[in-house]
Structure 1
Amino acid sequence: MFKELFSLFAVFIALFLFGMIIMRAGLLPLGGELFQRNVHRFTDKAWKGLLIGTVATAMLQSSSAVLVMTVGLVAANLLTFRQSIGIILGANIGTTITTEILVLDLSHFIIPLLLTGLVALFIPKKKAFSIGCLTFGLACIFIAMDGLESLAYPLSNLPSVHTLFHFTNDHSFTGILIGAALTGLVQSSTATTAIAMGFMSDHLLTLKSGIAIMLGANIGTCITAFLATIGASKHAKLVAFANIWLNLLGVIIFLPIMDVLVQVVTSMTDDKMQQLAHSSVIFNTICSVVLLPFAQAFARFVEWIHSKSQTYQ
């Protein structure tokens, strides 16, 4: 029973990640080209960088992809580190679009999306292929979401999992660690949040625990950008460090006021999954917008704190 459940759990996570990769494969030729073509025009001011970072991440459905491209641009001296700050702030906002999409009840569109995707993938045109990847990947994501939700209750009956849930519900910091570790493992904060949503829908995790996991996922997603800086210039590494500091400071600030965030999102909707999605939007938007007027000061802080770090050299 234990092996069967965790095998299915791993399959649905793999299907979710596969869907994300396929969907990005369709979006990247369009969004990636648009992002790199316009990035220079929209980074002379931090607020412009925030806008292009938000739009590009919403189009690519991946803050990691945008940050990796940004690291590449800085490494190639096509963009300065300070110009990248706005993009980093925007990427954190844009990534919340995915979680909002996940809570929509689109399960009845799964078959049409799969069929549309399969047909479009066999049409020998670039745009048709992109549409095929987008629809097929989206269908895989919704299939995985339904699977994760169906496994939530059987998994919770396992003594070890039940104990972990109970402990997480009583200790928010544990949720942050789980979120960070799981995201570092699967390389997707969206997948981690989706898993938390599945358990919350069956009332196995409290909203506060789900928010804690979401906060941890924001820290864990920094790993991808950091890995992209291996062997890169010191200025490119600063992009990854800035992303880490943004999310780390945001979590530190929000941790004491999580009860306030819980009250805010519960007043907005009764749906548990929507509450977690809204929490992600509120957290990332507030962190980015509050820091926006201090973008250059934040850049100087990152430069100063890593000026003598061995990983910076």
Structure 2
Amino acid sequence: MWIAALAAVASLVVFLGGLRLMRSGLEAMAEGRLPALLHKLARTPTRGILTGAVVTALVQSSAAVTAVTVGLVAAASLSFRDALGIVLGANVGSTITPLILTLDLWRLAVPCLVVGLVLLALRRPRLHPPGMALLGFACIFIALQSLTRALHPLTTTQWFADNLAAAGRNPIWAMAVGCLASAVVQSSTATTVVTMALVENGAVPLVSGIAMVLGANVGTCFTSVIAAIGQPRAAGQVALAHVLLNAAGVLLFLPFIAPYSEWMTWLSPHPKQQIADAHSIFNIICTLAVWPAIGSFARLVERLLPEQSRT
């Protein structure tokens, strides 16, 4: 049991390291153009949503994109209302990695690992970022496969089974676990991937797995809240909007989580795919629901957290 637990922890560490490595490589390839790109393209809510989705899919971190957005608003380079579109789009873009990891990518992961190591070994500055990105991607996929195998023996232990069963009986508790895990590791993607492995092993029922993923969407707001501390009120409005969007979506979905889970089984027979689909569809529905009323939502946030009056 202890060997399996250590293997699971090691796999998770490699996954997080791979995610950070790939993100760093992609950001380095952009050469610091991310803030300028967000500022230039997010001129309307629709363009902001598309920009947030695409940039998050490329950078592989909705938390990073949201934090940069908070920084742009704090610097008065981007208005609060323009930033809302980016936040909505970032939620959609964060679903790409779990969807990709449901595919059989062994034929792609191994060449990426080899090419990434070769590019890093050449020690040429221009080749270093793509080498990091390729190596990070390979580590993510390999770590996910290792995590799935490492968790299987743990699910047969009584302690593990009892605790997961408790979460399985209470979707609200499962949601809280997902929220806390995402806040701690600062990655809803990592929480979603671990949940995919747990559901695939039968350790967690699908309903609770989906609840964990929904909770992870709330936990990832922690980054934007931290980024807004000590910043101008407009930056705080972006963070508040992020929290309200994700928390309200989760609360609205909670009463329908059982039929929603049944729908996922109809879409796919594979547990990993079911979790990835639930994550993607939830974020897409929430974004589309707010999109037409983004002006009204902005006014609500401005009322809840008004600009400080100057004396």
TM-score normalized by the length of structure 1: 0.93
| Inter-partner Cα distance in structure 1 for 2:33 and 2:81 | 21
* Residues 295-306 of structure 1: pairs in structure 2 closer than 5 A: 295-306=294-305
Residues 239-263 of structure 1, C-alpha deviations (whole Å, 9 max, x = no match): 1111111100000011111123223
Give, as a single letter, the amino acid of the residue that structure 2 aligns with 1:240: A
| Inter-partner Cα distance in structure 1 for 2:126 and 2:60 | 18
Q: Which residue of 2 aligns with 1:106?
A: 105
| Inter-partner Cα distance in structure 2 for 1:308 and 1:68 | 20
* Residues 36-75 of structure 1: pairs in structure 2 closer than 5 A: 36-75=35-74
Residue 194 (structure 2) pairs with residue 223 (structure 1): no
Residues 122-177 of structure 1, C-alpha deviations (whole Å, 9 max, x = no match): 34545522221111001111121012101222111222211111112221111101
- What is the Cα deviation at residue 233 of structure 1? 1.6
Q: Which moved more, 1:86-95 or 1:41-50?
A: 41-50
SS of structure 2 residue aligned to 1:204: coil
Q: Which residue of 1 aligns with 2:238?
A: 239
Would you say how many aligned residue pairs link Structure 1 and Structure 2?
A: 308
Q: Which residue of 1 aligns with 2:137?
A: 138
| Inter-partner Cα distance in structure 2 for 1:141 and 1:305 | 40
5+ long unaligned stretches in structure 2: none
5+ long unaligned stretches in structure 1: none
Give, as a single letter, the amino acid of the residue that structure 2 aligns with 1:163: D
Q: Which moved more, 1:49-58 or 1:122-131?
A: 122-131
Cα pair 1:184 1:223 within 8 Å, conserved: yes
Q: Which residue of 2 aligns with 1:294?
A: 293
Give, as a single letter, the amino acid of the residue that structure 1 aligns with 2:43: D
Q: Which residue of 2 aligns with 1:8?
A: 7
| Inter-partner Cα distance in structure 2 for 1:77 and 1:30 | 26
Give, as a single letter, the amino acid of the residue that structure 1 aligns with 2:160: V
* Residues 178-189 of structure 1: pairs in structure 2 closer than 5 A: 178-189=177-188
Q: Which residue of 1 aligns with 2:22?
A: 23
| Inter-partner Cα distance in structure 2 for 1:135 and 1:172 | 37
Residue 224 (structure 2) pairs with residue 255 (structure 1): no
Q: Which moved more, 1:226-235 or 1:170-179?
A: 226-235
| Inter-partner Cα distance in structure 1 for 2:37 and 2:25 | 20
Cα pair 2:57 2:96 within 8 Å, conserved: yes
Give the CA RMSD over aligned residues. Answer: 1.8
| Inter-partner Cα distance in structure 2 for 1:127 and 1:221 | 32
Cα pair 2:5 2:150 within 8 Å, conserved: no
TM-score normalized by the length of structure 2: 0.94
- What is the Cα deviation at residue 230 of structure 1? 2.3
SS of structure 2 residue aligned to 1:79: coil
Residues 202-253 of structure 1, C-alpha deviations (whole Å, 9 max, x = no match): 1221211110000010011111121122222221122111111110000001
